[in-house]
Amino acid sequence: MSTTRPDKENYYLDIAQTVAKRGTCIRRVFGAIIVKNDSIVSTGYAGAPRGRKNCCDMQFCMREKLNIPRGERYELCRSVHAEQNAIIAASREEMLGATLYLACIDYKTGELAEGTSPCQLCRRMIINAGIERVVVRDTATEYRVINVEDWIENDDSLTGQLGY
């Protein structure tokens, strides 16, 4: 057993990465957890709405079949995003001032996907939920911290910058 203790950010990112393993998307497998006052409030992974067939079970992705680039045409995606599922599972009071941890695994390679970030719709939901920070895993030990206030001040919906 390793005696190296991970820092808190990587501890929570490890949990988000484990949550991602439940994901059913066949493009990118995301996991998210919301943490407030050092307690996990909720978790979420990318997958089809309850009762609908999952892409991994159907072995089919409409966005992939149509060769749609990342960040575009999410209305064709079967999945509810990991961030959205985590937000749905928590009360607003629990999310006010909280941190959302996000990890992404490439479905085909099983490797961590560097440089990911929440899409525009998820950013809007994170803002409205009252979440203060988003921590995104890039490698097993490296991550980025995003202050949600920056998304409010630098409104990407006006510039056309896309996430995911």
Q: At residue 78, what is the residue type?
A: R
CB 54 within 8 A of CB 48: yes
Quote the CA–CA distance of 62 and 82 in Å, as a whole number: 19
Torsion of CA 114, 115, 118, 119, to 10 degrees: -120
**Residue of 64, 75, 83, 153 marked active site:** 83
3-class secondary structure, 23: coil
Assess whether 64 carries a catalytic annotation. no
DSSP sequence for 67-90: TPPTTS-GGG--PBPHHHHHHHTS
Half-sphere exposure of 81 toward its Cβ, with a 13 Å CA cutoff? Answer: 22
R_g of the chain, CA atoms, integer Å: 15
The residue among 39, 35, 31 whose CA lies nearest residue 14 is 31
Residues classed as catalytic: 83
